[in-house]
Amino acid sequence: MKCPFCKHSDTQVIDSRESEEGDSIRRRRRCLSCEKRFTTYETVELRMPQVVKQNGNRAEFDPDKLRKSFRLALHKRPVATEQVEAAIDQVTQQVFAQGEREIESSEIGGMVMEELRKLDKVAFIRFASVYEGFEDVGDFADAIKALSKSPRRNRPVAH
Closest CA to 50 of 111, 95, 87: 95
Question: How many residues are given for the chain?
Answer: 159
| pLDDT tens readout for residues 73-123 | 999 999 999 999 999 999 999 999 888 899 999 999 999 999 999 999 899
What does the pLDDT read at residue 157? 41
| pLDDT tens readout for residues 122-138 | 998 888 888 777 778 88
Q: Give the Cα separation of 124 and 1 in Å (integer).
A: 51
Residue 120: Cβ-neighbour burial (10 angstroms; 0-12, 13-18, 19+):
buried
Q: Give the Cα separation of 133 and 69 in Å (integer).
A: 15
- Would you say residue 7 has pLDDT above 50? yes
Angstrom CA distances, 127 to 40, 99, 112, 133, 156, stand at 46, 26, 9, 10, 22
* Residue 135 main-chain phi, psi, to 5 deg: -110, -20
How does residue 151 score in pLDDT terms, banded at 50, 70 and 90?
low
Write down the pTM of the prediction: 0.62
Q: Give the Cα separation of 27 and 14 in Å (integer).
A: 7
Closest CA to 113 of 94, 98, 100: 94
**Maximum separation of any 2 CA atoms in the chain, in Å:** 81
- Domains of the chain, by residue range, sit at 11-43, 50-149
| pLDDT tens readout for residues 8-55 | 999 999 999 998 888 899 999 999 999 999 999 998 877 889 999 989
- Would you say residue 155 has pLDDT above 50? no
